[in-house]
A = this chain, B = another copy of it.
Amino acid sequence: MDFELSEDEAALAQGIRSLCAGRFPLERLRAAEGGDGLVDAEGWTELADAGVFSLQLPESAGGIGLGMAASSVVFEELGRALLPGPILASHLASYLVPDAADGAADGKVMVGAVRRPPTSGTEAFVPALVEHLSSLGVLIVVGDDGLAAVDPADVDAVRIGRPLDPLTPLWRVDELPEGRPVGGAEQARRWRRDQAVLGGALLVGLAAGTLDMAVAYAKEREQFGKPIGSFQAVKHMCADMLVAAETARAAVHAAAVTIDQPGVGDPERAAAGAGLLASEAAIKNGKICIQVHGGMGFTWEVPAHLYLMRARVLSQAIGPVGGLAELVAELY
């Protein structure tokens, strides 16, 4: 038992962090705010070359053949860098529905995903909102009883003028095509489970990113003749952020490893708990980060809001926290 990152995992995280810092610095991402093609094809290929999409595809199929643990450290870094684009769906599709996602692993095709809106229940009134539609080669529709592949060209969609996250363009789709079945209920369950864990990893990255921002600002910003970080109220907000981020990180890593290593625990329960805590940590930390920045935190210029809006996008994608909590309760 050694639950620390292995040397390989740490190196992988470091590599992705360097790639993001060099190739996708925040200023550059922000320059494309509100537009399409937030990640250009060349950038996407670089992500592919770094293995972001092929990490879990078996070596026999041309992938890297690693597992969820490796993916979770990679996605935490991508989250921290606020990397836009359908990275999670492209990654999941490459190993979960490889036949439907030809070209996903090597970055030639971007794959998106959307949950099929329920036909009854409280969410039944909201139309499907598809992210990054104009960039997609394939859209995976995740239903309760299976996965289907849809050609984006077949989708009748209306672009949303102002998406909540300016780095996640959105389309409204009233009638999602049935599409071509590419997986049954078991694969849909696996999709949702792995999505909760790796969406959780992205969310942990967001929670860590806002913690870093808040701490840096608290050290530098002075009021009443001293850094605001010397006031207990600010200190304790930052401490609570760290607790949220570290706890969620441990949960995400444990869920990833529990999926990779049969017998060490219940992967469904671990995945739901990880998604739940990561959602809450990212939203809570985004909110505290704004508060620590005071008025500046409410400006577009300071990127705190980008982390918070992205957290809402991801939190929605992996499912409302109430449902995740009920799943944990059932399996406890």
Contact = CB atoms under 8 A, between A and B. Distances in A.
Interface of A: 231-233, 236
5 contacts: A231-B232, A232-B232, A232-B233, A233-B233, A233-B236
A239 to B, nearest CB: 10
Contacts of A236: 233
Nearest to A233: B232
Contacts of A233: 232-233, 236
Contacts of A231: 232
A233 B236 CA distance: 8
Task: Specify how many copies of this chain sit in the oligomer.
Answer: 2
A231 B231 CA distance: 9
Contacts of A232: 231-233
A233 B232 CA distance: 6
A231 B230 CA distance: 12
A284 to B, nearest CB: 18
Across the A-B interface, the 5 shortest Cβ-Cβ residue pairs: A232-B232, A232-B233, A231-B232, A233-B236, A233-B233
A65 B87 CA distance: 73
A68 to B, nearest CB: 38
A42 to B, nearest CB: 50
A236 B236 CA distance: 11
Nearest to A236: B233
A232 B232 CA distance: 6
A233 B238 CA distance: 13
A41 B236 CA distance: 51
A71 to B, nearest CB: 39
Counting chain B CB atoms within 10 Å of each CB, which of A231, A232, A236 scores highest? Answer: A232
A227 to B, nearest CB: 14
A236 B234 CA distance: 12
A231 B232 CA distance: 7
A232 B239 CA distance: 14
A233 B231 CA distance: 9
